[in-house]
Amino acid sequence: MPPLSQTFGSLLRAGAVAAVSTLALATAPQAADLTIGLKSEPTSLDPQFHVLASNTQVSMAIFEPLVAQNTELGIEPDLATSWTFEGTVWTFNLDPAVTFSDGTPFTADDVVFSIDRVAKVPNSPSPFTLFTRQIASVEAVDAHTVKITTKEPYPLLVNDLAYLPILSKAAASGPAPEGRTTTELNRGEGLIGTGPYKFQSWERGASLVLARNDAFHGAAPEWDHVVYKPMVNPASRAAALLAGDIDVMEAPPTTDLKDMEANPKVSVVAGPPARVLYVGLDQFRDATPGVKGTAHNPFLDIRVREAMSLAIDRKAIVARVMGGAAQAAGDLVPATMFGADPGHAEAPAADIARAKALLAEAGYAKGFDLVLGAPSGRYVNDARIAQTLAAMWSRIGIRTTVEASTPSVFFKNYYDMSYSAYLASWGNNSGEVGTTLKALVLTRDPAKGIGTANNSGYANPEVDKLVLEGASTMDPEAREALLAQADKIVLDDYTLLPLHFEQPLWALRAGLTYAARADQYTLPQDVHSVK
Amino acid sequence: MTDATSSLPRRAAKKPSRLAMLTTRFAENRLAVFGLFLVVLAILAALFAPWIAPQNPFDLATLDIFDSMLPPGSTGSENGLHYLLGTDAQGRDVFSSILYGLRTSLIVAFSSVGFSMGIGLVAGLSAAYFGGALDAILMRIVDIQLSFPAILVALVLLAILGQGVDKVILALIIAQWPYFARTARSAALVERNREYILAVRCLNLSAPRIIARHLLPNCLPPLIVIALIDLASSIAIEATLSFLGVGVPVTKPSLGMLISNGFEFLMSGSYWISLFPGFALALVIMGINLAGDHLRDILNPRNS
Amino acid sequence: MQAFIVNRILQSLIVVLVMTLLVFAGLFVIGDPVQMLVSPDATDIEKEAVRQSLGLDQSFVVQYLSFMRDALHGDLGNSFLTGAPAMDLILKRMPATFELVICAMILATGIGLPLGILAGLRPEARSSKTIMAGSILGFSLPNFWVALVLIMIFAVGLGWVPASGRGETVQIGPIAVSFLTLDGLHHLILPALTLSLTKMALIIRVARAATREVAGQEYIKFARAKGLRKNRIVGVHLLKNIMVPLITVIGLEFGRTAAFAVVTETIFSWPGMGKLLIDSILTLDRPVVVAYLLLMVVFLVFLNLVVDLAYLWLDPAAREKGRD
């Protein structure tokens, strides 16, 4: 805070004699401190408590995984310098030069301890077992070699490991089954990692402060301190950035982008997209609750689904609703991702006449009434996108009203499959189309974790076979071919209607750069000042 | 028996002259008359919205996304509409939205006040007339509820009920009926002990009849004042709840929702989306309060 | 007197029971917190495990009873979202809310009281009529809209104060306060002013009515006749006499203001407990919602009690009655 922060409080504390030096101190932040305006605060500092982006991005600054994802979700060595696999057995060679921030050396025991701890963390609202469920066993072969065995051939093990930060066994052990408890870790007790920064203090709701880890094995971290401040309201984040109170803001509002780009005091960076907004249509029952004016479920007819896709002017949504901060989508993942079908790289253009013709051909010349379910406040501009869709569909005779609900209500209806048509979103965090297809279009089998978000009820045995075969095919080329084939079938079927890919955005004060990431994490180690 | 009752002194009989007197006294205060004018204007605008508004903002088919965020006085690119007060992020004409939003706001206000007044009257009059355990229980409930701010009660109820116009009305009724009940009871208690009521009771008339024909008319003046004040606060609470995201759904915006929708654009200079609905809201509430405040003064026996 | 206090406490216990039952039964009818929390990739088994660990697999009655049992031992449960004790989360945010409310009440009284007395002393003067019209405005303008306009003018337009958030804090014992720093005051002024407006209007009206009543009484006329200076009459006699209604109003309104801070906190991103309530309602974080309501009930009951006692103590007539 510039001159204003010459505070009564600090004057009181320091006394009149020391006032001059207080003044100098109070002109924080110092050149070497980095202040980040967060869109949401971490719920916990325990890196294995809650699978949530706002938690993971903080633990990625304090801890490191065996392998890490780069800005475009590609896999890179981190604590493990190399690895090999044979069938279900993976061998990781650890970096022997790494020490934790408290100076103790990093060894294979820490890896075993960390992966072992995941399942023991109690009361987790969204457990990290998501990333360990394919792991059958973890063994320390020697001090710097770890052997991980999976339950079945599983090429995405490295992607899962990228989400598992490694704690220090010595620091994080304790009397509780999980060692240091979540409450203790929240206080910073036992919160010792190998990452570029280390914990300093956390006051919930106000600020989280990290300090440089001088023992870091990589290039020396640039910032003395990193201060995270939760600022939920986007407008206030923007105001704070313009006022110089923060250096980096997450998710600048799309409405402000033009002003920000014109402002020499700040810059906006966009990351590669990985999150798709799409429309799901009920394809599993003959009488669908949200449709009036026809006897049967119109979405069982592929011509209707195609007509609805053709009625959408994706470019208009990107330009007018998303403020340009999105890419029109023809696929469920960006074309650059592994396994995306090259035939659907381009977003389909709107064609009202053809859409109307298709509807008539399907026997719906007079259209029908439709209720579109959408969340309000979960994804960027969600309710506005839904209303725009409704206007576009109404133009081809599908008289659409929008039922926009708070996320808690929306997700209940969504998982209860009570919408005939819904606007939803999926963020891909593996960099390959397989995980998206597995969750969104494979025949629902929630017990196995397949089709967990397939709430349109699509079921196609051929797609199931291709994707599941791909999921356990270790050879990349063969896997890519299988996945691309499945992706093509899904898209040709108009199973889901992709709309656009959200572009992750950051705004920075002038003089800073950020290696913008597809996973939307804000990592202080990737913020640098321009030299 | 009917003869017997009608020969008893009834204050209602004096009504015409009293009404005329009230009207004259009301007209003396120019601000109050102005307030009444605003209220009547708002009601008329809401009633005739479909005929006055250039666009039906609830019909998504009439909205053009290419006409979004136009400043006041712009003309639509395809439909040629003149957007007097500009358009919002969805391409809705702000002027039409205000008229329709006014409708939602007034429907919520009138129906919630109507129902809470009805419930409050019945509860308050029965408590006063029967007394005893009924009175004790009813008034305990009222006391407890009144110790809670209405906004908090409504907020918690809507968290349970979910969004929707009907749910907002229900929450407001539950939050506001105790005010009516308490006022009705205290007014009725004064009347109950008057001689003529004691006399009527001796005649063995049925309780509902005594309550309806003798207690009710005398409790109405203070209740009308409360109703007016409550009308204003209902509109304000509904707007506030919608602003917080737990009130009416985003696709059927009330005035509060309109202001909330425009909030995110305020900082980037599109002031008209929030500002104009805000003025409309403030004017309506102010009108009701101006009129209600003066009415209370002239109905208050201590002032006359 | 004791019976009165016991009665009050019993009453509030009933409120607590009804309130918790309602929220317990109602909050999950419209949504499922597990679906909100768990990653959409999770299998049914994983979801079930979360449900179990949060205790949501139990029947409603069992959940409620175990909540009541823990509550009697002073444990209101852990937040679903953060795993931290719900009460801790709320208590940590309470100072921010109270700071805002106290500042708003000081503003409301500091400005409202003199204006009200002025309007009461000379009811027919033009200035008094302006004050009264202004107070209607204060009642009428919805709080959140006033906040928006103030933000527009003073934060966006003139850039004098920040648009939102809480400024730099200073630790006083365990409590962090922001009103002792210049930066903190800068952040505090707009939200406090917004929150104070309705209360200011109310205090103007109460002060005016009380002044008019007192000014007409014999002893004031007598004091005037005795040739006491006008300032002294107003200062001593009047203030002494309007203290009773004023303290009642300020005390009762304090609770209402604390509740209404929900709105102000949301607009200004003020990190108080009202903001926490809204966030928790939206994420169905039931333990936090219930804990907030419990705390609020206790606070309001306590406040009412204090106001009643203060009333008895201040007002000689009521005291006499109490003795009878």
- In percent, the amount of chain B with pLDDT more than 70 equals 93
Chains A & C: contacts with CB separation below 8 Å: 159
Interface contact flag, B251 A239, Cβ < 8 Å: no
Indicate whether C221 belongs to any domain.
yes
B60·A402 Cβ contact <8 A: yes
Least confidently predicted of A16-25, A384-393, C163-172: A16-25
Chain B residues touching C163 at Cβ < 8 A = 267
Q: Is residue C29 part of a domain?
A: no
Classify residue C313: in a domain, yes or no.
yes
Is residue B266 one of the residues assigned to a domain? yes
> Per residue in B116-163, pLDDT tens?
999 999 999 889 888 888 988 888 888 878 877 888 888 888 888 888
pLDDT surpasses 50 at A21: no
CB atoms inside a 10 Å sphere around CB B45: 19
The token pair at B262 is 């425009």
At C1, the pLDDT band (50, 70, 90 cuts) reads low
Domain A43-194+205-212 listed as CATH 3.90.76.10: yes
Residue C59 within a domain: no
Position A259 scores a pLDDT of 84
Judged by CB atoms closer than 8 Å, whether chains meet at B152 and C296 is answered as yes
Whether the CB-CB separation of A59 and A524 falls below 8 Å is answered with no
Q: Nearest by CB to C92, which of A44, A204, A409?
A: A204
Can you name the residues that pair with A171 across neighbouring β-strands? none
Specify the fold of A4-36+231-273+504-529: D-Maltodextrin-Binding Protein; domain 2 (3.40.190)
Establish if B86 belongs to a structural domain.
yes
How many folded domains does chain B comprise?
Answer: 1
pLDDT tens-place string over residues A192-205: 999 999 999 998 87
Residues of C whose CB is below 8 A from A50:
81-83
B155 touches chain A (CB under 8 A): no
The CATH number of whichever domain residue C190 belongs to comes to 1.10.3720.10
User: Count of CB contacts below 8 A, B vs C?
Assistant: 105
Q: Give this prediction's pTM.
A: 0.87
Whether B23 is covered by a domain: the verdict is no
- Is residue C194 over pLDDT 70? yes
Q: Is residue B212 in some structural domain?
A: yes
ipTM of the complex: 0.82
Q: Is B301's pLDDT higher than 70?
A: no
Taking residues A451-462, what's their average pLDDT? 95
List, for residues C4-40, the tens digit of each pLDDT value. 778 777 877 887 788 788 888 887 777 788 888 888 8
For chain C, how many structural domains are there in total?
A: 1
pLDDT at A411: 92
The residue with tokens 């700040």 is A266
Top-tier CATH class for A275-501: alpha beta
- Tell me the residue type at B265: F
Which distant-in-sequence residues (6+ apart) come within 8 Å of A31 by Cβ? none
Contact A403 B249 (CB under 8 A): yes
Instruction: Express each pLDDT in C87-109 by its tens digit.
Output: 999 998 899 999 999 999 999 99
Its domain, for residue B206, covers 39-73+80-303
Within 8 A by CB and 6+ apart from A294, the residues are A364, A368
Mean pLDDT computed over A84-104: 96
Chain A positions with Cβ closer than 8 Å to B: 234-235, 238-239, 253, 255-256, 258-259, 313, 316-317, 320-321, 376-377, 383-384, 387-388, 390-391, 394-395, 399-406, 409
A389, HSE (Cβ side, Cα atoms, 13 Å): 30
Give the residue carrying structure tokens 């929702």: B257
The nearest alpha carbon in chain B to A321 belongs to B89
- Interchain contact, B163 vs A259, CB within 8 Å: no
Distance from CA of C214 to the nearest CA of B (A): 15
Q: What is the pLDDT of residue C219?
A: 66
Chain B nearest-CA distance from C285, in A, is 11
* Whole-number pLDDT of residue B189: 84
Residue B71 Cα distances to A5, A384, C133, angstroms:
39, 19, 33
Residues A257-305 pLDDT 10s: 888 889 999 999 999 999 999 999 999 999 999 999 998 999 999 999 9
Q: Which of A320, A391, A404 sits opposite B249 (nearest CB)?
A: A404
Q: Domain holding B119: CATH number? A: 1.10.3720.10
For residue C187, the enclosing domain spans 86-323
- Residue B61 has its nearest CB partner, among A234, A255, A394, at A394
State how beta strands A421-427 and A368-375 pair: parallel
Q: 3-state SS string over B25-46? A: HHHHCHHHHHHHHHHHHHHHHH
Q: B46 to each of B37, B254, B255, B261, C230, how far by Cα in Å? A: 14, 11, 12, 20, 52
pLDDT value, residue C220: 65
Domain boundaries, chain A: 4-36+231-273+504-529, 43-194+205-212, 275-501
- 3-state DSSP assignment of residue A275: strand
Which residues on B lie below 8 Å from A316 (Cβ)? 65-66
C21 occurs within a structural domain = no
| pLDDT for residue A494 is more than 90 | yes
pLDDT tens-place string over residues A33-76: 999 999 999 999 999 999 999 999 999 999 999 999 999 999 99
